[in-house]
């Protein structure tokens, strides 16, 4: 009997399980789960702190999921070695697990720079997992002064989640702006103003250099006193299992559009991978939940003998802070890179559409009126729709389907899609 | 399965479908009581172009990207109907970011809602179709 093995138990793993089961309902699936929880919605950890969800609602699948899918989950176990010649995996308790087809869905880990004196800080936390969040929650009080290192998606969602539960929050980042991975300077300034208006303090273009117990010494020479330190500097793809057996790895495990890694019978999916970003014409680590599911699902179908291709990956994020939403997608080419920009701006909203060579390559939308129906823009990027085939002048003003040809509308609204 | 389909050449742009939808999902017995003097949050929207208008609601796609993208695991498909568990939804709007048809919008509390074909409300069949004066929206089987 064949056996599928998945290393990891996050959303990519679930996509993989569901992909395998589309093709093969018989053969066993073994899931190696370092975390001791069934799959949960990891991006919801900040919503938990805010009181917008709870542990039960955070379950990504129903309690009988693994049983229904005929999966054995090995909780609290870590894969330490893959032997691709004998097709076996060694676990941290020395158990050997054989595989016929393997999917690496090991995700990413927080990157912690070597700060001097970090060991003297008593209350320091990462903000990646459910356990990280629960530890942080148990340490805070309404008197806590929190310092968050990193003004990216993780650091800022953590700030929002903690806001009403602590005394003060300061966020520092070496970058000059917030959310530097998804927002350009003008858009970042708008979000920063909104975050500041909601009580988050920033020290940008500045970051902690060293720590001494409850004090951070900053690059600028300033000092910050804190009770709780959250380290959200960045993440790194967990690639070592594959690199140790000479599989091809760059910043993530390199995969093709069938989710195959460079070694036969080994696939990879989710935040640990680096695959094609079609808005960029190159490979990128796209550590976002939708891609994790879609990559996992594609891997699973192929592992079980089906035929699937996932060739529509792009960066895309929908994220809100204190009621102000921003949606971003794709790549933002500057004029020097041959890009063109369409912009609409009001005091509280901003729309930027980036085009190049007759295609929409990316967008940044801020404000609840301009984010409405943004998926129509996203589809232009994902489906690589030539702008001369639609009425882009209409579409620039608002995301609508009247900009499509009558034939396409007939297909969408009069047929099965 | 039966889905809601649009005959765009017959749509008058009267917006009755939006009112019927909001009423059917209001849980109220009386339409005036449910809708009068309040902003409405229907799950179907009339789209108006220069010379054309038609109603847009969830397509209940064969392979729905909203389900794969939902960060809260709140969207699922049961018997062909794409369903949102509003209890799990946190209002992150990722489904709005990915739906190619612009078929989802939040309710008055910022929680997502979408057409679920009136199968779980008291109407029992799509209220938009039932009330359309010109058969510009129909509920029928078309080659799956």
DSSP labels, A168-189: EEEEEESSSSTTTTT--HHHHH
Strands A124-125 and A228-231: parallel
Q: What is the pLDDT of residue B144?
A: 64
Non-local CB neighbours of A13 within 8 Å, separated by 6+ positions = A6, A31, A39, A103, A105, A269, A270, A296
Closest-CA residue of B relative to A377 is B100
A144 contacts A228 by C-beta, under 8 angstroms? yes
Give how far A243 is from chain B: nearest CA, Å. Answer: 29
Give how far B30 is from chain A: nearest CA, Å. Answer: 30
Both tokens of A90, joined, read 């060694």
Both tokens of B90, joined, read 């946190």
B103, B24, B17, B13: which is closest to B59 by C-alpha?
B103
State the count of interchain CB pairs (< 8 A) between A and B: 125
Give how far B102 is from chain A: nearest CA, Å. Answer: 4
pLDDT above 80 (res B143): no
How remote is the C-alpha of A221 from its chain's centroid? 33
ipTM of the complex: 0.97
B3, B94, B100: residue with CB nearest A376:
B100
Give the span between the Cα atoms of A339 and A319, in whole angstroms.
Answer: 25
Strands A253-254 and A273-277: parallel
Give how far A92 is from chain B: nearest CA, Å. Answer: 30
* CB contact (8 A) between residue B100 and residue A378: yes
Element (H, E) at A392: helix A392-397
Closest-CA residue of A relative to B63 is A417
* CB contact (8 A) between residue A413 and residue B48: no
* CB contact (8 A) between residue B92 and residue A53: no
* CB contact (8 A) between residue B97 and residue A378: yes
CA angle A295, A297, A303 (to 5 degrees): 100
* CB contact (8 A) between residue B72 and residue A57: yes
B73, B142, B144: residue with CB nearest A61:
B73
* CB contact (8 A) between residue B59 and residue A373: no
Give how far B29 is from chain A: nearest CA, Å. Answer: 31
Q: What is the pLDDT of residue B85?
A: 97
* CB contact (8 A) between residue B68 and residue A57: no
pLDDT single digits (tens) B30-72: 999 999 999 999 999 999 998 899 999 999 999 999 999 999 9
A410, A404, A400: which is closest to B142 by C-alpha?
A410
Positions in chain A short of pLDDT 50: none
Closest-CA residue of B relative to A379 is B100
Give the span between the Cα atoms of A239 and A250, in whole angstroms.
Answer: 9
Give the span between the Cα atoms of A194 and A159, in whole angstroms.
Answer: 13
* Confidence (pTM): 0.96
């Amino acid at each position: 009997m064949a056996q599928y093995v998945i290393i990891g138990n996050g959303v990519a793993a679930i996509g993989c399980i569901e992909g395998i089961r589309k093709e093969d309902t018989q053969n066993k699936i073994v899931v190696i789960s370092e975390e001791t929880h069934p799959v949960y919605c990891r991006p919801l950890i900040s919503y938990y702190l805010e009181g917008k969800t709870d542990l039960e609602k955070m379950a990504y699948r129903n309690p009988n999921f693994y049983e229904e899918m005929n999966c054995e989950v090995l909780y609290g176990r870590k894969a330490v070695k893959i032997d691709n010649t004998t097709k076996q995996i060694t676990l941290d308790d020395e158990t050997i697990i054989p595989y016929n087809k393997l999917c690496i869905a090991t995700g990413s880990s927080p990157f912690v720079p070597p700060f001097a004196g970090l060991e003297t800080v008593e209350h320091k936390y990462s903000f990646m997992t459910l356990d990280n969040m629960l530890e942080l929650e148990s340490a805070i009080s309404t008197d806590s002064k929190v310092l968050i290192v990193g003004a990216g998606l993780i650091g800022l969602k953590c700030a929002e989640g903690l806001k009403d539960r602590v005394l003060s929050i300061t966020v520092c980042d070496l970058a000059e702006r917030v959310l530097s991975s998804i927002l350009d300077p003008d858009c970042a300034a708008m979000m920063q103003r909104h975050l500041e208006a909601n009580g988050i303090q920033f020290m940008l273009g500045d970051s902690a250099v060293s720590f001494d117990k409850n004090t951070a010494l900053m690059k600028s020479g300033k000092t910050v006193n804190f009770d709780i330190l959250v380290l959200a500097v960045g993440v790194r793809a967990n690639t070592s299992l594959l690199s140790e057996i000479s599989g091809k790895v760059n910043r993530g495990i390199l995969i093709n559009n069938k989710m195959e890694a460079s070694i036969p019978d080994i696939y990879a999916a989710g935040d640990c991978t680096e695959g094609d970003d079609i808005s960029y014409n190159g490979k990128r680590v796209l550590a976002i939940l939708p891609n994790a599911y879609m990559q996992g699902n594609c891997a699973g179908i192929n592992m079980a003998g089906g035929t699937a291709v996932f060739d529509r990956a792009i960066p895309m994020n929908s994220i809100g802070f204190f009621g102000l939403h921003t949606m971003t997608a794709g790549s933002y080419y500057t004029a020097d890179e041959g890009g063109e920009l369409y912009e609409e701006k009001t005091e509280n909203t901003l729309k930027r559409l980036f085009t190049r060579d007759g295609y929409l390559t990316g967008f940044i939308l801020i404000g609840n009126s301009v984010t409405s129906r943004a998926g129509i823009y996203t589809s232009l990027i994902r489906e690589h729709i030539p702008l001369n085939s639609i009425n882009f002048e209409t579409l620039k003003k608002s995301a609508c389907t009247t900009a499509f040809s009558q034939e396409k509308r007939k297909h969408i609204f009069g047929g099965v899609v | 399965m039966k889905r809601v389909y649009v005959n765009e050449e017959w749509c008058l742009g009267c917006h009755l479908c939006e009112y019927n939808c909001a009423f059917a999902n209001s849980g109220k017995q009386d339409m005036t009581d449910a809708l009068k003097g309040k902003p409405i949050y229907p799950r179907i929207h009339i789209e108006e172009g220069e010379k054309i208008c038609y109603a847009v609601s969830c397509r209940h796609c064969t392979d729905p990207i909203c389900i794969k993208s939902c960060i809260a695991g709140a969207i699922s498909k049961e018997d062909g109907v794409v369903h949102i568990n509003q209890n799990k939804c946190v209002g992150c709007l990722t489904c709005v970011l990915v739906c190619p048809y612009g078929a989802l919008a939040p309710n008055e509390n910022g929680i997502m809602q979408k057409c679920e074909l009136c199968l779980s409300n008291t109407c029992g069949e799509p209220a938009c179709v039932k009330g359309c004066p010109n058969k510009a929206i129909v509920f029928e089987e078309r080659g799956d």
